[in-house]
Amino acid sequence: MTTIRRFCCNDLLRFAPVNFDHLTETFNMSFYMTYLARWPDYFHVAEGPGNRIMGYIMGKVEGQGESWHGHVTAVTVASEYRRQQLAKKLMHLLEDISEKDKAYFVDLFVRASNMPAIKMYEKLGYVIYRRVLRYYSGEEDGLDMRKALSQDVEKKSVIPFKRPITPDELEYD
């Protein structure tokens, strides 16, 4: 019972039960609205009966040449709707849209300590591409995980990088 549709500003007023989750970041308004203004197709919400917000995914597409890729900025599901493969559905949606936009891969960052999430992404076909040292508020390392799309025929984008990098070495924020 999942209606997936584009995320709207009004959803920001109803996503508290999802965002009270301690691992879900609540960004400032210009961050959300920049995503909505630039990449509305990469920002989707899943709604259940009674118009309850079940979860959402926000992302973007960026890069040059073979680095042109989809990026998952956040994917989150309300606790009431977990263990129903909703995150998988939302991830597939973003991957499909990235495919349509001829992206070479999709990537995301995850806290190195967030094992449940890392395992889930691995199940969805993502591999750890590299470690980003002290990515989260200068404290915790982040893992840059990637999944190659059909455009990347030789799957070059997911060959793991040999050494950890620092946040200032990142090509994109």
Partner 1 sequence: MASRFGLAGGIPERRVRSIWDAVDSRQFKTAHKLAVGLLAKYPNSPYALALKALILEKMGKPDEALSVCLNAKELLHLDNVVHVDDLTLSTLQIVFQRLDRLDLATSCYEHACGKYPNNLEMMMGLFNCYVREYSFVKQQQTAIKMYKIVGEERFLLWAVCSIQLQVSCGSGGEKLLSLAEALLKKHIASHSLHEPEALVIYISILEQQMKYEAALEVLSGNLGSLIGIEEDKLRMQGRLLARACNYAAAAEIFQKVLQSCPDDWESFLHYFGCLLEEDMNWSSASSTDQICSSRSVDFPASKANHLTVEVFDSRISSALSFVWKLQLDIQNDCIRGPYLASIEIERQRRLGGKADDGKFMEALLNYFHRFSHLSCFTSDVEMFICILSETEKAELLEKFVKILETSSTSPIKALGQAITVFKIQELFGVMFKFPITELEGTAKRMVEMYCKNLILSRDLDLQENMHGEELLSMASNVLVLLFWRTRKLGYLLEATMVLEFGLNIRRYVWQYKIPLMHLYSYMGALSSAYEWYVTLDVKNILLETGSHHILPYMLKSPNWLETGNLMKEYLKFMDDHLREVADLTFLAYRHRNYSKVIEFVQFKERSQHSYQLSMVRLEALILQLKEKADNIEEIQGILENANYGIQLLELSNEDKLKSLTFNEDLQARPWWSPTPEINYLSEPFEEGSACLREKLDQHKVGEKEQIARKHIETKSLIPRLVYLSIQASTFSLKENLEPNGSVSDVKVILEMKCLLERYARSIGLPFDDAVDVILGIAKGQKSFKDLDSDIISWINFAIFVNAWNLCSHHPGLVSEDGCGLTSWHVVNFLVKTCTAEVLMQAQPILTNPGGSLPVLVQLVTESFSWHVLVIQSCLKSMLPSGKKKKKGGAVDQMNSPHLQAIHDSIQCLSNAIRGIQKCVGDQINKPEDQNLDILLSLVQMEDCDEGPGYVHQALAESASANSSELGDRISGALQSWNSASGLRKIIAAQNKLLSHFHRICGSKLKLLESLKRST
Binding residues vs partner 1 (CB under 8 A):
1-6, 8-14, 16-17, 19-23, 26-30, 32-34, 36-38, 40-41, 47-52, 79-82, 84-85, 100, 114-117
d(CA 20, CA 26): 9
CB 126 within 8 A of CB 82: no
In angstroms, give the least distance from the CB of 162 to partner 1.
29
User: Least distance to partner 1 from the beta carbon of 163, Å?
Assistant: 27
Q: How far is the CB of 62 from partner 1 (least distance, A)?
A: 13
**Measured distance CA(104)–CA(96) in Å, rounded:** 12
Smallest distance from the beta carbon of 161 to partner 1, in angstroms? 26
Nearer to partner 1, 52 or 155 (CB): 52
Task: Identify which of residues 90 and 158 has a Cβ nearer to partner 1 in the complex.
Answer: 90
Q: What are the beta bridge partners of residue 2? A: none
Strands 69-77 and 53-62: antiparallel
Name 76's bridge partners: 56
Q: For tokens 């591999």, what's the residue?
A: 127
Angle between helices 115-123 and 86-100 (to 10 degrees): 50
Closest separation between CB of residue 89 and partner 1, Å? Answer: 9
